[in-house]
Amino acid sequence: METTLRGVGVSHGVAIGEVRHMGTAVLEPPAKQIPAEEAEREQGRARQAVEAVAADLVARGNLAGGEAQHVLEAQAMMAQDPELIADVDRRIAVGSTAERGVYDAFAAYRALLANAGEYLAGRVADLDDVRNRIVARLLGVPMPGVPDSDQPYVLIARDLAPADTALLDPTLVLGFVTEEGGPTSHSAILARALGVPAVVALPGAGEIAEGTVVAVDGSTGEIFVEPSDEKRAEMESASAARKAALSAVTGPGATSDGHKVPLLANVGGPADVPAAVEAGAEGVGLFRTEFLFLDDSKQAPSEEKQIAAYRAVLEAFPEGRVVVRVLDAGADKPLDFLTPADEPNPALGVRGLRSLLDHPDVLRTQLTALSRAAEGLPVYLEVMAPMVADRADAKAFADACREAGLQAKFGAMVEIPSAALRARSILQEVEFLSLGTNDLAQYTFAADRQVGAVSRLQDPWQPALLDLVALSAEAARAEGKSCGVCGEAASDPVLACVLTGLGVTSLSMGAASIPYVRATLAKHTLAQCERAASAARAADSADEARLAAQAVLSGE
């Protein structure tokens, strides 16, 4: 009998197929003692396994490219963390086997994160995956991971580690469903990059029996278990109609009455550019530069290396707009040369612009590299700072841009509620705002963006979050300046209409979402978007806001 479940839809599209479950996790190794004379050999085994797993993660990243490559390289760095390895060595020295030493050391680090308030809990799935891979190699058992199948299927897992998500074969994995995760988790971001329908934060998903037919709607978050023929036909028809609508609408983003809303792409480096160009992106609204710095956590990349990478992206959008975010280090992206090692709550500590102001040489080199990369190109370069809290932050960044001789617009990201509340003050120092709705939701609701248990508070439809967007957009309009959105909120086509109605002047998203947003905007007038925005803000919950906006846009 058909039953309906609801999680959080994070990647558009419809998938209908049989369920396959993710391979089981590595069993806990036995806690047996070894003689002291075997400790050195076991330590060597542990180090070899760590290096092999790190190399495998890097190789997977090279194969996947794009955003996935950066995520997997960061995960490889996690495997080689000196403090973790030192803890493994200590445990082996007092009698643990290599596999037990690894297992216990990772468990202690996991507990440390939890006791710190789980500000880094979004990386627990990554941490568990690294542990499982190292222990599996030491035990000589197969790696846990995506099931082998020569027939297409819908994958169900407790959570998906980046190493698994990055190499999913879209011709076999029709879609995936996870019990954990949130709308801005690594798995969600990579699913959108792959164009695979996905639903996360669905408790009990693992109880759906292997081989059961399910229909997954990655837009609504609905899962239909054993769907009827009528439901399957309905979803397939809606999917076909959606694809037809996407191909029928081309050109710059705009509402049906001609109000322009530039649609830009979020990119993590040169590898992401081809997909953005193919999707018709009008430029880049968020160029994440962390990928360059994660290659070596010990030192910043040279100015010449940065110039080459930046120019490769700038050249892809002649006469287009490219918005570059300077290094956003700290919290879940620690760098040995930049971020403190002993912060109790890294997400609330020295991250983003705060780190750069503490290390002005790193910021100066990056700004100079950006300036040199843009020389002679007809591109509209804009550079923005992450984690701006107030006018003093904005002024410090603007001064640094001027001192570096940067011929570009410089702006501030609105990711902290104080920046939204005092947006007009910040705009006295910078020329534009860009809303990072992922972090803005996290800090507004004190809800870690990677923790599935608080996913309802990460929902970008939360009215309180929409209020902060409206405040920022109103401030920008009053100052005659622009205010874009580069967080994951922009990838939701209906929410994109609401953001337009709130006064947002551009939308930036993963390349796969651009056609959906373009087609949806083209069906509605600016006035309809404004009414939908008002209806959403008048609601008391994310679900009510979504339904209210949908009702307005559908003419109900």
User: How do residues 228-242 score in pLDDT, each as one tens digit?
Assistant: 999 999 998 888 887
Q: Which two tokens stand for residue 378?
A: 């007809």
Q: Among 186, 359, 497, 524, which one carries the catalytic annotation? A: 186
Token pair 């998500």 in the structure block, residue? 165
Q: Which residue among the candidates 483, 486, 497, 529 is catalytic per the annotation?
A: 486
- Confidence (pLDDT) at 146: 75
The answer to whether 486 is a known catalytic residue is yes
pLDDT in tens, 263-289: 999 998 888 899 899 999 999 999 999
- Mapping DSSP to helix (H, G, I), strand (E, B) and coil, where does residue 287 land? strand
Paired tokens of 382: 């804009």
- Between helix 66-79 and helix 39-64 the angle, nearest 10°, is 170
Q: Which residues of the chain have pLDDT under 70?
A: 24-27, 64-68, 70, 112-125, 142-144, 148, 162-163, 165-167, 184-186, 295-297, 330-334, 341-343, 449-452, 556
Contacts of 493 (CB under 8 A, 6+ apart): 12, 219, 513, 516, 517, 519, 520, 521
Structure tokens at 441: 């939701």
Q: Which residue has the tokens 């959080």?
A: 8
What is the C-alpha to C-alpha distance for residues 502 and 515, in angstroms, rounded to an integer? 21
Burial (0-12, 13-18, 19+ Cβ within 10 Å), 421: middle
Handedness of CA 64, 125, 28, 51 (dihedral sign): positive
Question: In what helix (H) or strand (E) does residue 545 lie, and over which residues does it extend?
Answer: helix 542-553
Does the predicted TM-score (pTM) go above 0.75? no
Name the residue type at position 272.
D
Instruction: Note the pLDDT of residue 117.
Output: 40
Tokens for 82?
């000196």
Is 70 a residue of the active site? no
